[in-house]
């Protein structure tokens, strides 16, 4: 049973290692094509979180690390999930929502992501029931704005 707990997914490290330079290239294109400075910054935040997600995951899953190093990399790998969720919201909220709603949503989402990072880094023995809801809440955080933004985005143009 303990072997199952220490076995890493065979292909994940390779897939993420290959995805990392593509994430860098896609991020450069995205930032370059963004029409305004504020959207370039929002796109860069998204790109950076994606590169971190794939890069750290590739390092973690590809290496045979000493237990202490493995634990640090595992924590970083898990915290990047929180960051990429918040990073994914950033360009969309900034581009699609009215500024006050975007600021409010991004403040809540990034605060939740940073709270999740603190849980995963500082309280390594935190019970799963405590930190998993943070992932779910971050993933559903946009629901409060969906109705108004979709109504505005998909209005029939006459």
| Residue in the block written with tokens 């294109």 | 29
Per residue in 18-72, pLDDT (tens digit) is 999 999 999 999 999 999 999 999 999 999 999 999 999 999 989 888 999 998 9
Rounded Cα distance, 25 and 124, in Å: 34
pLDDT at 123: 81
pLDDT at 12: 83
Rounded Cα distance, 34 and 50, in Å: 17
Rounded Cα distance, 121 and 116, in Å: 9
- Angle between the 99-122 and 143-153 helix axes, to the nearest 10 degrees? 150
Range name among 1-5, 68-72, 113-117, 138-142 with the lowest pLDDT average:
1-5
Tokens read off for 80:
């990047």
Rounded Cα distance, 124 and 139, in Å: 22
Per residue in 67-109, pLDDT (tens digit) is 999 989 989 998 999 999 999 999 999 999 999 999 999 999 9
- Global pTM? 0.81
Rounded Cα distance, 23 and 25, in Å: 5
How many other C-beta atoms are found inside a 10 Å radius of the C-beta of residue 147?
Answer: 9
Name the pLDDT band for 124 (thresholds 50, 70, 90). Answer: confident
Select the more confidently predicted residue: 4 or 90. 90
């Amino acid at each position: 049973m303990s072997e199952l707990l220490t076995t890493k997914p065979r292909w994940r490290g390779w897939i993420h290692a290959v995805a990392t330079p593509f994430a860098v290239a896609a991020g450069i294109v995205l930032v370059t094509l963004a029409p305004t400075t504020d959207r370039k910054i929002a796109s860069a935040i998204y790109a950076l979180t994606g590169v971190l997600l794939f890069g750290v995951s590739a390092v973690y899953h590809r290496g045979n690390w000493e237990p202490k190093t493995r634990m640090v990399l595992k924590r970083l790998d898990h915290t990047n999930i929180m960051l990429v969720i918040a990073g994914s919201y950033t360009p969309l909220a900034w581009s699609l929502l009215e500024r006050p709603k975007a600021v409010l949503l991004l403040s809540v989402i990034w605060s939740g992501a940073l709270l999740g990072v603190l849980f995963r880094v500082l309280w390594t023995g935190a019970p799963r029931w405590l930190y998993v809801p943070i992932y779910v809440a971050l993933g559903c955080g946009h629901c409060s704005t969906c109705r108004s933004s979709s109504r505005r985005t998909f209005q029939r143009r006459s």
